[in-house]
A and B are shown apart, each in its own frame.
Chain A
Amino acid sequence: MGKSEVKGTVTSLSSMFPAEEVQKAAKMVEEKLSEKQNEMNQLKEFIANNTSLINLVQKLPDELHHDIMVPFGKAAFFPGRLIHTNEFLVLLGESYYTERTAKQTVEILKRRGKSLESKVDALKAVMQDLKAEASFFDSTASEAAEGLVEIREYEEDNSTERASQSGSLELETPSVAEADNKMGASEDDEYARIMSRLEELEKEELAAEDNEENLEDEDEDANAVESDGNEDELTKAAEGDGDEDELTKAAFHRKKDECYSYLDHGQRYSESRKQLQQFNGKEPIEEMSNKYKHQDLTKQFASTGLTEEPVTKGEISHGQIIQQDTQTLSPSINAFAPFEKKSVQTSKSEFDSSKAFTGSIVEHTQNLDKSSVGTNMTSLQSSGSQPWKPVSRFKMQRK
């Protein structure tokens, strides 16, 4: 669907990272790595020598004299003995020497060993970085060889393309890009769709209100049915909203519209969808809408021109929104993450989706009336809260 005013670029990875250059870079990195490896070996040798020297220095004071062969130059020895076995002359560097006892010498050598070890650690870190670089180069080289293509899409107000761009072996478009594109969907169309959906959902909710629980199937079906046609976002959003709107259709219509618009615009497309689906009751939808409102309000308002709507909405709705917003803000944020984990669950059924969720149970203070304890409030706070929240509020409002 959609208008195809997507601006985007398709760049093949191989053009950005030519295969040969990548291989060259990989080789260079390997060379550096081998250099570092040599340094590492050398340092380790030093450390080994140091430890053996420490042992020797500790053993020497055991005897007064040691008989040894004293070297005389590089090619001759004198038989002799080591004397003053507790006195060591240690080179400190820069031709500075110091006479120390065995214990003190051992301490000096231990300190030297520590500094060597720290050097080894630093070298290890460098080597790890080089290895990561090398692996990156390798993977890029293989990807470039495969003909991977990088696709970037830019938002356009009228662009509604969501379809990930094909033609590449792997889609690299971030989901955000898709969401952005979706955001471009015309608001008017969404409006209409949302309205129709809402009505449908409301009807369903009214029917389902009585039986708040065990409506998973219905919800799923409803969601499935409703999801047809309109953009997925819209449908799902509508569906989700529809459930909620049953009770407060009038009040929430506009809200939902806003929400949907937000949903479209927001980058939570998938999340919102799932959330909506998950929302069985009305509340979830409301919450979602509220959440989106909060989150996307600032952005969306300007773009969608719906800024005025919340204000124009009825007092009740506004108040409700506020209430919900405060509550749902945090959960909504959390909701996003878990949403994806959960399988798409009917958002319509009042409690079915909640049951399907395996998230933590979040009880909203607003859900005073409904005792849908069973409903699991996943971060999304969907469905579970739906039945009781909207019912309590909307019923009160309506009645």
Chain B
Amino acid sequence: MDSLRQEKIQKFEEFVDRRLKPDLVHAIVERDKIFDQQKIFSDLRKNIENLEKNSVTSLRTLVNLGSEVYMQAEVPDTQRIFVDVGLGFHVEFTWSEALKFISLREEKLERQIEEYTRLIASIKAQIKLVCEGIRELLQIPEEKTVEGRVF
């Protein structure tokens, strides 16, 4: 009986360590990427709104040539902006179109983030479940007791 139990416990532990934990890590990494993308687009949106607000027609920037060597660049007409829509394509937009696109993009990113969050939560729950099972097998008393005072 005991040996069987030990085996089961070991199996559970292995499952947790080999499958669940890496899955968790992976899911978290993916979600972080999406967070970054979301940030990029939100920054872009803010910039465009800024440009619109100030009616900036042309602007001067510093372009990074590589290894932090900058060169002045001038944008004569800021009306047209090319936005990366994925799969290596850049679409020419006007400001308003760009803003619309960005908001759509942001929605999509939010949905993805939510999915990942759900996945992460489920993995965490599974890990907890397995740990509980091990505890039961070892008959270790529960760590949390919700009991109040016992009279």
Contacts and interface: CB of A to CB of B under 8 A. Distances in A.
B87 interface: no
Given A73-B44, A80-B76, A84-B72, A68 B63 contact: yes
A77 B40 contact: no
Contacts of B78: 78
A75 B65 contact: no
B87 to A, nearest CB: 13
Interface in A62-88: 68-85, 87-88
Given A76-B44, A76-B83, A70 B66 contact: no
Query: Which size class do A's interface residues fall under?
Result: 20 to 34
B73 A70 contact: yes
A77 B82 contact: yes
A240 B117 CA distance: 95
A105 interface: yes
Contact of B73 (A82, A97, A112): A82
A78 B66 contact: no
Nearest to B74: A83
A321 to B, nearest CB: 77
B123 interface: no
Query: Which size class do B's interface residues fall under?
Result: 20 to 34
A77 B81 contact: yes
A56 B73 contact: no
Interface in B82-118: 82-84, 90, 98
Nearest to B64: A71
A76 B67 contact: no
Interface of A: 49-50, 52-53, 56-57, 60, 68-85, 87-91, 97, 105, 109, 112
Interface of B: 40-41, 43-44, 47, 61-63, 65-78, 80-84, 90, 98
21 contacts: A53-B67, A53-B69, A56-B65, A71-B63, A73-B40, A75-B83, A76-B81, A76-B84, A77-B81, A78-B80, A80-B75, A81-B73, A82-B71, A82-B72, A82-B73, A83-B74, A89-B69, A89-B70, A91-B69, A97-B70, A109-B69
Given A49-B67, A75-B40, 19 more contacts: A52-B66, A53-B67, A56-B66, A68-B63, A70-B63, A73-B40, A78-B82, A79-B80, A79-B82, A80-B73, A80-B76, A81-B74, A85-B71, A87-B71, A88-B70, A89-B62, A89-B71, A90-B68, A90-B69
